[in-house]
Chain A
Amino acid sequence: MLKNQKNHKNHKKIQEEMIDIFYGEKEWSEELKNHLDTCRECGVFWQELHALHDKLSCFDLPQEMEIDDRLISSAFKKADLFKKKRANFKESILFLGTATLLLGAESWFIYLGNGMLILKGQILMTVLVPFALPFLLKLRLAKEGY
Protein backbone atom coordinates (compact mmCIF):
# COMPACT_ATOMS: atom_id res chain seq x y z
CA MET A 1 0.00 0.00 0.00
CA LEU A 2 2.75 2.39 1.10
CA LYS A 3 4.85 1.35 -1.89
CA ASN A 4 1.90 2.03 -4.23
CA GLN A 5 1.41 5.52 -2.79
CA LYS A 6 5.12 6.24 -3.17
CA ASN A 7 5.01 4.99 -6.76
CA HIS A 8 2.01 7.20 -7.58
CA LYS A 9 3.77 10.21 -6.09
CA ASN A 10 6.82 9.39 -8.16
CA HIS A 11 4.76 9.18 -11.38
CA LYS A 12 3.10 12.49 -10.57
CA LYS A 13 6.47 14.17 -10.14
CA ILE A 14 7.80 12.63 -13.35
CA GLN A 15 4.70 13.69 -15.27
CA GLU A 16 5.20 17.26 -14.06
CA GLU A 17 8.74 17.12 -15.35
CA MET A 18 7.39 15.77 -18.63
CA ILE A 19 5.17 18.84 -19.00
CA ASP A 20 8.26 21.02 -18.51
CA ILE A 21 10.10 19.02 -21.17
CA PHE A 22 7.13 19.19 -23.55
CA TYR A 23 7.09 22.98 -23.26
CA GLY A 24 10.86 23.31 -23.65
CA GLU A 25 11.65 24.29 -20.09
CA LYS A 26 13.74 21.20 -19.36
CA GLU A 27 15.91 18.69 -21.19
CA TRP A 28 15.40 14.94 -21.21
CA SER A 29 17.55 13.15 -18.66
CA GLU A 30 18.65 9.52 -19.10
CA GLU A 31 16.67 8.59 -16.00
CA LEU A 32 13.46 10.05 -17.41
CA LYS A 33 14.00 8.47 -20.82
CA ASN A 34 14.43 5.07 -19.22
CA HIS A 35 11.35 5.62 -17.09
CA LEU A 36 9.23 6.56 -20.09
CA ASP A 37 10.36 3.42 -21.92
CA THR A 38 9.28 1.16 -19.10
CA CYS A 39 6.33 2.96 -17.46
CA ARG A 40 2.97 2.51 -19.19
CA GLU A 41 1.21 5.21 -17.11
CA CYS A 42 3.74 7.89 -17.98
CA GLY A 43 3.83 6.74 -21.60
CA VAL A 44 0.08 7.29 -21.87
CA PHE A 45 0.49 10.67 -20.20
CA TRP A 46 3.12 11.67 -22.79
CA GLN A 47 0.84 10.60 -25.65
CA GLU A 48 -2.04 12.52 -24.11
CA LEU A 49 0.11 15.65 -24.01
CA HIS A 50 0.69 15.35 -27.75
CA ALA A 51 -2.99 14.61 -28.39
CA LEU A 52 -4.02 17.69 -26.43
CA HIS A 53 -1.55 19.77 -28.41
CA ASP A 54 -3.05 18.50 -31.68
CA LYS A 55 -6.60 19.20 -30.55
CA LEU A 56 -5.77 22.71 -29.43
CA SER A 57 -4.26 23.47 -32.83
CA CYS A 58 -7.80 24.15 -34.06
CA PHE A 59 -7.59 27.38 -32.05
CA ASP A 60 -4.78 28.58 -34.31
CA LEU A 61 -5.81 31.74 -36.07
CA PRO A 62 -5.26 32.20 -39.82
CA GLN A 63 -1.77 33.35 -40.81
CA GLU A 64 -3.17 36.30 -42.75
CA MET A 65 -5.52 37.84 -40.24
CA GLU A 66 -7.65 40.77 -41.28
CA ILE A 67 -6.55 43.87 -39.43
CA ASP A 68 -9.31 46.05 -38.09
CA ASP A 69 -8.20 49.51 -39.29
CA ARG A 70 -11.22 51.18 -37.74
CA LEU A 71 -10.22 49.82 -34.35
CA ILE A 72 -6.69 51.23 -34.69
CA SER A 73 -7.80 54.67 -35.90
CA SER A 74 -10.42 54.76 -33.17
CA ALA A 75 -7.69 53.94 -30.63
CA PHE A 76 -5.67 56.95 -31.88
CA LYS A 77 -8.73 59.20 -31.53
CA LYS A 78 -9.41 57.95 -28.01
CA ALA A 79 -5.77 58.43 -27.06
CA ASP A 80 -5.82 62.02 -28.42
CA LEU A 81 -8.95 62.73 -26.41
CA PHE A 82 -7.34 61.31 -23.31
CA LYS A 83 -4.20 63.41 -23.85
CA LYS A 84 -6.33 66.55 -24.21
CA LYS A 85 -8.23 65.73 -21.04
CA ARG A 86 -4.95 65.14 -19.22
CA ALA A 87 -3.58 68.49 -20.44
CA ASN A 88 -6.80 70.23 -19.34
CA PHE A 89 -6.56 68.56 -15.97
CA LYS A 90 -2.98 69.78 -15.55
CA GLU A 91 -4.03 73.33 -16.45
CA SER A 92 -6.94 73.15 -14.00
CA ILE A 93 -4.61 72.05 -11.23
CA LEU A 94 -2.25 74.93 -12.04
CA PHE A 95 -5.14 77.40 -12.01
CA LEU A 96 -6.46 75.98 -8.75
CA GLY A 97 -3.02 76.18 -7.18
CA THR A 98 -2.49 79.81 -8.24
CA ALA A 99 -5.98 80.83 -7.12
CA THR A 100 -5.48 79.16 -3.73
CA LEU A 101 -2.14 80.91 -3.34
CA LEU A 102 -3.61 84.35 -4.14
CA LEU A 103 -6.63 83.79 -1.90
CA GLY A 104 -4.33 82.61 0.85
CA ALA A 105 -2.17 85.73 0.50
CA GLU A 106 -5.24 87.95 0.56
CA SER A 107 -6.61 86.19 3.65
CA TRP A 108 -3.25 86.62 5.34
CA PHE A 109 -3.30 90.38 4.65
CA ILE A 110 -6.83 90.59 6.03
CA TYR A 111 -5.71 88.64 9.11
CA LEU A 112 -2.91 91.16 9.59
CA GLY A 113 -5.50 93.96 9.70
CA ASN A 114 -5.32 95.24 6.13
CA GLY A 115 -8.87 94.19 5.21
CA MET A 116 -10.12 97.73 4.59
CA LEU A 117 -7.19 98.51 2.33
CA ILE A 118 -7.88 95.40 0.22
CA LEU A 119 -11.59 96.26 0.06
CA LYS A 120 -10.82 99.78 -1.12
CA GLY A 121 -8.39 98.43 -3.64
CA GLN A 122 -11.00 96.03 -5.01
CA ILE A 123 -13.66 98.78 -5.23
CA LEU A 124 -11.20 100.99 -7.02
CA MET A 125 -10.40 98.20 -9.49
CA THR A 126 -14.01 97.28 -10.27
CA VAL A 127 -15.40 100.82 -10.43
CA LEU A 128 -12.61 102.98 -11.71
CA VAL A 129 -11.06 100.69 -14.33
CA PRO A 130 -14.22 100.65 -16.56
CA PHE A 131 -14.46 104.43 -16.22
CA ALA A 132 -10.81 104.83 -17.04
CA LEU A 133 -11.13 102.63 -20.14
CA PRO A 134 -12.10 105.43 -22.63
CA PHE A 135 -9.30 107.58 -21.27
CA LEU A 136 -6.78 104.76 -21.59
CA LEU A 137 -7.97 104.09 -25.16
CA LYS A 138 -7.59 107.75 -26.08
CA LEU A 139 -4.10 107.73 -24.65
CA ARG A 140 -3.20 104.70 -26.70
CA LEU A 141 -4.63 106.16 -29.90
CA ALA A 142 -2.69 109.36 -29.35
CA LYS A 143 0.46 107.37 -28.85
CA GLU A 144 -0.10 105.57 -32.15
CA GLY A 145 -0.63 108.90 -33.96
CA TYR A 146 -4.38 108.91 -34.62
Chain B
Amino acid sequence: MQEQELVVLAQSGNKEALEILLRDNYPIIYGYLLKLTLNEEEAKDITQEVMVKAIININRFLGEAKFSTWLISIASNIFKDNLRREKKYSAVDITEISLEAPDNVEEQVINKEMIDHLKKSLLKIPEEKRMAFVLKHFYHYSYEEIGQILKCPLGTVRSRLHYCIKKLQKLV
Protein backbone atom coordinates (compact mmCIF):
# COMPACT_ATOMS: atom_id res chain seq x y z
CA MET B 1 0.00 0.00 0.00
CA GLN B 2 1.28 3.48 -0.83
CA GLU B 3 2.17 6.11 1.76
CA GLN B 4 -0.70 8.42 0.80
CA GLU B 5 -3.27 5.65 1.18
CA LEU B 6 -1.80 4.71 4.55
CA VAL B 7 -1.95 8.33 5.67
CA VAL B 8 -5.62 8.60 4.68
CA LEU B 9 -6.41 5.39 6.57
CA ALA B 10 -4.40 6.51 9.60
CA GLN B 11 -6.20 9.86 9.63
CA SER B 12 -9.55 8.08 9.60
CA GLY B 13 -8.53 6.25 12.77
CA ASN B 14 -6.94 3.05 11.44
CA LYS B 15 -4.31 2.16 14.03
CA GLU B 16 -2.67 -0.54 11.89
CA ALA B 17 -2.05 1.90 9.03
CA LEU B 18 -0.48 4.36 11.43
CA GLU B 19 1.70 1.63 12.89
CA ILE B 20 2.92 0.65 9.40
CA LEU B 21 3.76 4.29 8.67
CA LEU B 22 5.71 4.62 11.91
CA ARG B 23 7.54 1.33 11.40
CA ASP B 24 8.48 2.29 7.83
CA ASN B 25 9.88 5.61 8.97
CA TYR B 26 11.54 4.39 12.17
CA PRO B 27 15.03 3.95 10.60
CA ILE B 28 14.93 7.46 9.13
CA ILE B 29 13.90 9.15 12.35
CA TYR B 30 16.13 7.12 14.64
CA GLY B 31 19.08 7.47 12.24
CA TYR B 32 18.58 11.22 11.99
CA LEU B 33 18.40 11.65 15.75
CA LEU B 34 21.37 9.36 16.29
CA LYS B 35 23.50 11.49 13.98
CA LEU B 36 22.20 14.63 15.62
CA THR B 37 22.53 13.67 19.26
CA LEU B 38 25.37 11.14 18.90
CA ASN B 39 23.80 9.46 21.90
CA GLU B 40 21.74 6.26 21.69
CA GLU B 41 19.62 6.90 24.78
CA GLU B 42 18.73 10.43 23.73
CA ALA B 43 18.00 9.33 20.16
CA LYS B 44 15.60 6.58 21.34
CA ASP B 45 13.95 8.91 23.80
CA ILE B 46 13.28 11.56 21.18
CA THR B 47 12.21 8.95 18.60
CA GLN B 48 9.51 7.84 21.02
CA GLU B 49 8.43 11.43 21.63
CA VAL B 50 8.24 11.97 17.87
CA MET B 51 6.00 8.92 17.49
CA VAL B 52 3.72 10.02 20.33
CA LYS B 53 3.34 13.46 18.75
CA ALA B 54 2.75 11.93 15.33
CA ILE B 55 0.01 9.65 16.70
CA ILE B 56 -1.70 12.51 18.52
CA ASN B 57 -1.44 14.99 15.64
CA ILE B 58 -1.84 12.69 12.63
CA ASN B 59 -4.82 14.72 11.43
CA ARG B 60 -2.65 17.83 11.26
CA PHE B 61 -0.47 16.23 8.58
CA LEU B 62 -1.58 17.91 5.37
CA GLY B 63 0.32 15.69 2.97
CA GLU B 64 2.19 18.58 1.32
CA ALA B 65 5.54 16.95 2.05
CA LYS B 66 6.57 13.34 2.58
CA PHE B 67 5.51 11.71 5.83
CA SER B 68 9.18 11.25 6.77
CA THR B 69 9.79 14.99 6.29
CA TRP B 70 6.93 15.75 8.67
CA LEU B 71 8.40 13.36 11.24
CA ILE B 72 11.86 14.88 10.83
CA SER B 73 10.37 18.31 11.37
CA ILE B 74 8.76 17.09 14.63
CA ALA B 75 12.07 15.47 15.66
CA SER B 76 13.96 18.71 15.02
CA ASN B 77 11.52 20.70 17.14
CA ILE B 78 11.75 18.23 20.03
CA PHE B 79 15.55 18.22 19.79
CA LYS B 80 15.58 22.03 19.94
CA ASP B 81 13.19 22.01 22.93
CA ASN B 82 15.42 19.52 24.73
CA LEU B 83 18.41 21.75 24.13
CA ARG B 84 16.55 24.67 25.66
CA ARG B 85 15.60 22.52 28.65
CA GLU B 86 19.16 21.19 28.81
CA LYS B 87 17.99 17.61 29.23
CA LYS B 88 20.88 15.43 30.34
CA TYR B 89 21.61 11.91 29.09
CA SER B 90 24.15 9.26 29.98
CA ALA B 91 27.23 8.76 27.88
CA VAL B 92 26.07 5.71 25.86
CA ASP B 93 27.18 7.10 22.55
CA ILE B 94 27.13 6.35 18.87
CA THR B 95 30.41 4.39 18.92
CA GLU B 96 28.67 1.68 20.97
CA ILE B 97 26.02 1.17 18.33
CA SER B 98 26.52 -1.31 15.51
CA LEU B 99 26.92 0.96 12.51
CA GLU B 100 28.02 -0.51 9.17
CA ALA B 101 30.56 -2.78 10.87
CA PRO B 102 33.29 -4.31 8.69
CA ASP B 103 33.99 -8.05 9.06
CA ASN B 104 37.70 -7.55 9.69
CA VAL B 105 38.59 -6.96 13.38
CA GLU B 106 41.40 -4.56 12.51
CA GLU B 107 39.08 -2.57 10.28
CA GLN B 108 36.50 -2.55 13.06
CA VAL B 109 39.01 -0.98 15.47
CA ILE B 110 40.03 1.64 12.91
CA ASN B 111 36.37 2.28 12.15
CA LYS B 112 35.58 2.75 15.82
CA GLU B 113 38.47 5.15 16.24
CA MET B 114 37.37 7.04 13.17
CA ILE B 115 33.78 7.27 14.42
CA ASP B 116 35.00 8.46 17.79
CA HIS B 117 37.10 11.17 16.18
CA LEU B 118 34.27 12.23 13.87
CA LYS B 119 31.87 12.25 16.79
CA LYS B 120 34.12 14.58 18.75
CA SER B 121 34.42 16.83 15.71
CA LEU B 122 30.67 16.89 15.15
CA LEU B 123 30.05 17.67 18.80
CA LYS B 124 32.17 20.80 18.45
CA ILE B 125 29.65 22.17 15.97
CA PRO B 126 26.69 24.10 17.45
CA GLU B 127 23.50 22.01 17.34
CA GLU B 128 21.47 24.37 15.12
CA LYS B 129 24.22 24.22 12.51
CA ARG B 130 24.67 20.48 12.93
CA MET B 131 20.98 19.95 12.18
CA ALA B 132 21.27 21.69 8.82
CA PHE B 133 24.40 19.71 8.02
CA VAL B 134 22.90 16.31 8.92
CA LEU B 135 19.76 17.02 6.88
CA LYS B 136 21.80 18.03 3.85
CA HIS B 137 24.66 15.58 4.02
CA PHE B 138 22.89 12.40 5.07
CA TYR B 139 19.33 12.99 3.90
CA HIS B 140 19.94 15.12 0.80
CA TYR B 141 17.14 17.60 1.52
CA SER B 142 17.24 20.80 -0.52
CA TYR B 143 18.06 24.13 1.14
CA GLU B 144 14.40 25.07 0.79
CA GLU B 145 13.17 21.89 2.50
CA ILE B 146 15.70 22.29 5.32
CA GLY B 147 14.52 25.87 5.72
CA GLN B 148 10.95 24.62 6.11
CA ILE B 149 11.96 21.89 8.56
CA LEU B 150 14.12 24.14 10.73
CA LYS B 151 11.92 27.21 10.20
CA CYS B 152 14.73 29.45 9.03
CA PRO B 153 15.54 31.34 5.82
CA LEU B 154 17.32 29.69 2.91
CA GLY B 155 20.38 31.91 3.33
CA THR B 156 20.74 30.79 6.94
CA VAL B 157 20.61 27.13 5.90
CA ARG B 158 23.32 27.75 3.32
CA SER B 159 25.59 29.61 5.69
CA ARG B 160 25.11 26.94 8.40
CA LEU B 161 26.07 24.18 5.99
CA HIS B 162 29.12 26.10 4.77
CA TYR B 163 30.19 26.73 8.35
CA CYS B 164 29.93 23.00 9.16
CA ILE B 165 31.86 21.90 6.09
CA LYS B 166 34.70 24.31 6.76
CA LYS B 167 34.80 23.44 10.43
CA LEU B 168 34.80 19.69 9.74
CA GLN B 169 37.49 20.05 7.11
CA LYS B 170 39.67 21.68 9.73
CA LEU B 171 38.84 19.17 12.46
CA VAL B 172 38.83 15.88 10.59
Contacts of A24 in B (CB 8 A): 140
Q: Which residue of B lies closest to A59 (CB)?
A: B35
Question: B56–A62 contact, CB under 8 A?
Answer: no
- Chain B stretch 47-95: residues in CB contact (< 8 A) with chain A: 47-48, 51-52, 55-56, 94
Classify the secondary structure of B's interface with A: helix
Q: In whole angstroms, how far apart are the Cα atoms of A68 and B46 in the complex?
A: 13
Residue A61 interfacial (CB < 8 Å): yes
18 contacts between A and B (CB under 8 A): A19-B162, A19-B165, A25-B142, A49-B165, A58-B114, A58-B118, A59-B115, A59-B118, A59-B138, A61-B34, A61-B100, A65-B27, A68-B30, A72-B51, A75-B51, A76-B55, A79-B56, A82-B52
Give chain B nearest CB distance to A25 CB in angstroms.
Answer: 6
Q: In whole angstroms, how far apart are the Cα atoms of A74 and B114 in the complex?
A: 35
Q: In whole angstroms, how far apart are the Cα atoms of A55 and B22 in the complex?
A: 30
Q: In whole angstroms, how far apart are the Cα atoms of A60 and B32 in the complex?
A: 10
- Chain B stretch 135-172: residues in CB contact (< 8 A) with chain A: 136-138, 140, 142-143, 158, 161-162, 165, 168-169, 172
Q: With A23-B161, A61-B34, A65-B31 given, name 19 new contacts (CB 8 A).
A: A19-B161, A23-B136, A48-B169, A56-B138, A58-B115, A58-B118, A59-B115, A59-B118, A68-B30, A71-B51, A72-B51, A74-B48, A75-B22, A76-B15, A79-B52, A79-B55, A79-B56, A82-B56, A83-B56
Interface string of A36-68 (1 = CB under 8 A from B): 000000000000110011011011111001011
Q: In whole angstroms, how far apart are the Cα atoms of A62 and B34 in the complex?
A: 13
Question: B165–A52 contact, CB under 8 A?
Answer: yes
Residue A9 interfacial (CB < 8 Å): no
Contacts of A79 in B (CB 8 A): 51-52, 55-56
Interface centre among A25, A65, A75 (most CB of B within 10 A): A75
Q: Which residue of A lies closest to B23 (CB)?
A: A67
- Give the interface residue-count category, chain A: 20 to 34
Residue A16 interfacial (CB < 8 Å): yes
Question: B44–A71 contact, CB under 8 A?
Answer: yes
Residue B96 interfacial (CB < 8 Å): no
Question: A58–B111 contact, CB under 8 A?
Answer: yes
A72 interface neighbour in B19, B35, B94, B169, Cβ under 8 Å: B19
